[in-house]
Amino acid sequence: MIKAGIIGATGYAGQELVRLLLQHPQAEIVWYGSRSYIDQNYYDVYKNMFRLVDAKCMDDNMEELAGQADVIFTATPQGLCASLVNEEILTKTKIVDLSADFRIKDVEIYEKWYGIEHKSPQYIGEAVYGLCEINRERIGGARLVANPGCYTTCSILTMYPLVKEGLVENNSIIIDAKSGTSGAGRGAKLPNLFCEVNESIKPYGVTNHRHTPEIEEQLGYAAGEPLLINFTPHLVPMNRGILATAYANLKPGVTGKQIQAAYEKYYADEYFIRLLEEGAYPETRWVEGSNFVDIGYKVDERTHRVVAMGVIDNLVKGAAGQAVQNMNLLFGLPEQTGLQLVPLFP
């Protein structure tokens, strides 16, 4: 059994990790870290866990935890993982960091977009960007995995084959994304109150959301050159789910057939990516509770653009599910172990 510790176990992503690891046949949770709820029963924080988890919340002591756990998940605010990690810890255990600390290779970009100083830039280089479908081979041997962001996972996977195959104008990409409210976290903030979110939709972080450079970096690797995108997230009155609607100008002469071929080339054998049949578009309800990414597209002959659409459950493939997928890779398990989840509907 893989011994897993969670730092930040009482956020929504942390709790989802608990849900997935409890159902994982080869993992057990040895540490429920939560600074806010130290010494409280975990099930008092999340009553769905009553009678399922019989542990108390513990402090964020990564050093001690490193001695007990085979893998540490950090589902914490930006900056925390970078401030705690060190050589001794990385020698003892593996880390899957769900924060943004090690996602962006250019530390200046990280510091500019996040507005904080990076406390351990020396590990940025070795950290592997844990988007399993793309970086699978490099994850297995890593000590430190940077688990991708929710919007970024959905956005990158939706556009990757088209960019990789050079079918679209790189700088024409516009991603209009929509997220359920669990993406905003469990902090007690007025804008996230039920009555403020319900019966409304709003854009936010227009032109400056922090997931923008992460998408640009990864799609830039695929393109073989830097690129700039527009990314606009929106808050939707639902609990879970992200939909990315991406627009791009096709390069001259590119046809729908080539688009289809590109998606199949990269995703036909991927268990977690479901390429929808022609004319079908993804809807968040069909992936809820699962690690699936549903992708569809439509070529617009009139404007010579492609509209590509992808959906994920932001807490699963966008956070905890992908983290477990990375854990599986780190420990040589079949990638789907504990993740063959049938989406819950309705």
Q: Does position 335 bind a copy of itself by CB under 8 A?
A: no
Distance (Å, rounded) from C-alpha 194 to C-alpha 146? 32
Distance (Å, rounded) from C-alpha 179 to C-alpha 284? 9
Judged by CB under 8 A, the number of residues near a copy of itself is 80
> How many CB atoms neighbour CB 160 within 10 A?
25
Minimum gap (Å) between residue 125 Cβ and a copy of itself: 26
Which residue's structure tokens are 């990690």?
85
52 or 224, CB closer to a copy of itself? Answer: 52
34 or 290, CB closer to a copy of itself? Answer: 290
User: Of these, 137, 141, 190, 252, which contacts a copy of itself (CB under 8 A)?
Assistant: 190
Minimum gap (Å) between residue 130 Cβ and a copy of itself: 23
Minimum gap (Å) between residue 83 Cβ and a copy of itself: 26
Q: Does position 294 bind a copy of itself by CB under 8 A?
A: yes
Strand order in the sheet with 27-33: 27-33, 2-7, 71-74, 94-97, 144-146, 128-129
Minimum gap (Å) between residue 64 Cβ and a copy of itself: 27
Q: Does position 303 bind a copy of itself by CB under 8 A?
A: yes
| Residue list 120-179, contact with a copy of itself (CB under 8 A) | 171, 174, 176, 178
Look up 150 and say whether it is catalytic: yes
Distance (Å, rounded) from C-alpha 143 to C-alpha 162? 31
Q: Does position 288 bind a copy of itself by CB under 8 A?
A: yes
Contact assessment for residue 327 and residue 25, using Cβ atoms and an 8 Å cutoff: no
Contact assessment for residue 328 and residue 337, using Cβ atoms and an 8 Å cutoff: yes
| Residue list 207-236, contact with a copy of itself (CB under 8 A) | 207, 228-230, 232, 234, 236
Strand order in the sheet with 273-275: 202-203, 230-235, 174-179, 242-249, 305-312, 293-300, 273-275
Q: Does position 345 bind a copy of itself by CB under 8 A?
A: yes
Contact assessment for residue 259 and residue 251, using Cβ atoms and an 8 Å cutoff: no
118 or 178, CB closer to a copy of itself? Answer: 178
Q: Does position 309 bind a copy of itself by CB under 8 A?
A: yes
Q: Does position 260 bind a copy of itself by CB under 8 A?
A: no
Minimum gap (Å) between residue 162 Cβ and a copy of itself: 16
83 or 239, CB closer to a copy of itself? Answer: 239
Contacts of 113 (CB under 8 A, 6+ apart): 104, 208, 210, 212, 213
| Residue list 41-100, contact with a copy of itself (CB under 8 A) | 46-52
Q: Does position 257 bind a copy of itself by CB under 8 A?
A: no
77 or 237, CB closer to a copy of itself? Answer: 237
Contacts of 25 (CB under 8 A, 6+ apart): 337, 338
| Residue list 8-37, contact with a copy of itself (CB under 8 A) | 12, 15, 19, 22-23
Distance (Å, rounded) from C-alpha 34 to C-alpha 222? 37
Q: Does position 182 bind a copy of itself by CB under 8 A?
A: yes
68 or 239, CB closer to a copy of itself? Answer: 239
62 or 323, CB closer to a copy of itself? Answer: 323
Q: Which residues of 119-132 are buried (b: 16+ CB within 10 A; e: fewer)?
A: ebeebbeebbbbbb
Exactly one of 81, 132, 150, 154 is catalytic; name it: 150
Applying CB under 8 A, the span of 26-34, 111-119, 160-168, 196-204 interacting with a copy of itself comes to: 196-204
Q: Which residues of 43-64 are buried (b: 16+ CB within 10 A; e: fewer)?
A: bebbeebeeebeeebbebebee
CA distances 143 to 51, 125, 149, 179, Å, are 34, 12, 19, 31
Applying CB under 8 A, the span of 1-9, 144-152, 282-290, 322-330 interacting with a copy of itself comes to: 282-290
Q: Which residues are catalytic?
A: 150
